[in-house]
């Protein structure tokens, strides 16, 4: 029987569609590989039963009726990860960050209007002397499985938004996630502080590529991602504020 999933409104990115990392994580968490690549083909709808379909070679796809929303498969991810940022420096960068003009202020992953008591809400800020941004993240207990490790679904959700902050300035035109490649390496422990860093990878016209990584407080690399972001010609079509 086909598996069905529904994305609750709590996990929005733009006002009326899912946060990209959460939607990608729905497929990535069902792929039998620590590394996967998931492409978003259409805005993932909220509060709508979606169907997970399995393909060849471990591939998965997410459908709304017969409309393809996302597809993913096992993949390789080769990306150079910068040295981690000390916890105190990442916390200072987070405190120094300012995103008053955020296009999606209620985003589950990075919305400044969201509370860390109920969302990921990671807003990285610049680190002096380094070509990257950073923030701290202490995952909520509810994001973890019985072993206390954050589930792949919420780890993927946390790996999404920082990739945009790594490559796009706060006043950049509105972009949305088109593809997320992720590799899970070591457990991310709920209730424990971690650092999240992000950095630029490449720019190609309307495309922007950014990297992100999650480290434990002792500097252990837990997860890494590369996001592809596409500039939206008309931000109003995705409910952006600007």
Whether residue 162 contacts residue 20, with contact meaning beta carbons closer than 8 Å, is answered with no
Mean pLDDT of 105-127: 96
* Residue pLDDT, tens place only, 16-33: 999 999 999 999 999 999
User: 196 has which bridge partners?
Assistant: 135, 214
Residues 18 and 231: their CA atoms lie apart, in Å, by 18
What sign results for the dihedral spanned by CA atoms 55, 51, 174, 9? Answer: negative
- The Cβ-side half-sphere exposure at 110, using a 13 Å CA radius, reads 31
Label residue 97 by pLDDT band (50, 70, 90): confident
- Of the chain, the percentage scoring pLDDT greater than 90 comes to 90
Domains and CATH numbers, the chain: 3-74 (3.10.129.10), 87-238 (3.10.129.10)
pLDDT for position 242: 65
* Residue pLDDT, tens place only, 136-178: 999 999 999 999 999 999 999 999 999 999 999 888 999 999 9
Average pLDDT, the chain: 96
pTM above 0.75, yes or no: yes
How many other CB atoms are found less than 10 A from the CB of residue 2?
8
Classify strands 221-231 and 3-6 as parallel, antiparallel or unpaired: unpaired
* Residue pLDDT, tens place only, 31-53: 999 999 999 999 999 999 999 99
Residues 6+ apart with CB under 8 A from 64: 42, 45, 48, 50, 51
Residues 126 and 100: their CA atoms lie apart, in Å, by 16
């Amino acid at each position: 029987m086909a598996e069905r999933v529904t994305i609750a409104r709590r996990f929005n990115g733009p006002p009326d569609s899912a946060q990209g990392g959460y939607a990608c994580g729905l497929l990535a968490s069902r792929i039998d590989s620590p590394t996967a690549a998931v492409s978003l083909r259409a805005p993932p709808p909220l509060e709508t039963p979606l169907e997970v379909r399995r393909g060849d070679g471990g591939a998965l796809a997410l459908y709304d009726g017969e409309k393809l929303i996302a597809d993913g498969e096992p993949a390789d991810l080769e990306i150079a990860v910068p040295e981690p940022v000390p916890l105190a420096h990442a916390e200072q960068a987070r405190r120094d960050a300012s995103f008053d003009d955020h296009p999606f202020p209620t985003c589950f992953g990075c919305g400044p209007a969201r509370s860390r008591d109920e969302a990921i809400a990671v807003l990285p800020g610049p680190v002096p002397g380094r070509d990257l941004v950073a923030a701290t993240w202490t995952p909520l207990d509810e994001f973890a499985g019985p072993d206390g490790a954050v589930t792949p679904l919420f780890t993927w959700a946390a790996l999404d938004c920082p990739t945009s902050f790594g490559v796009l300035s706060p006043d950049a035109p509105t972009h949305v996630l088109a593809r997320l490649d992720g590799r899970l390496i070591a457990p991310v422990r709920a209730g424990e502080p971690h650092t999240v860093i992000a950095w630029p990878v490449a720019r190609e016209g309307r495309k922007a590529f950014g990297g992100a990584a999650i480290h434990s407080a002792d500097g252990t690399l837990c997860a890494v991602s590369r996001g592809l972001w596409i500039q939206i010609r008309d931000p109003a079509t995705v409910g952006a504020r600007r």
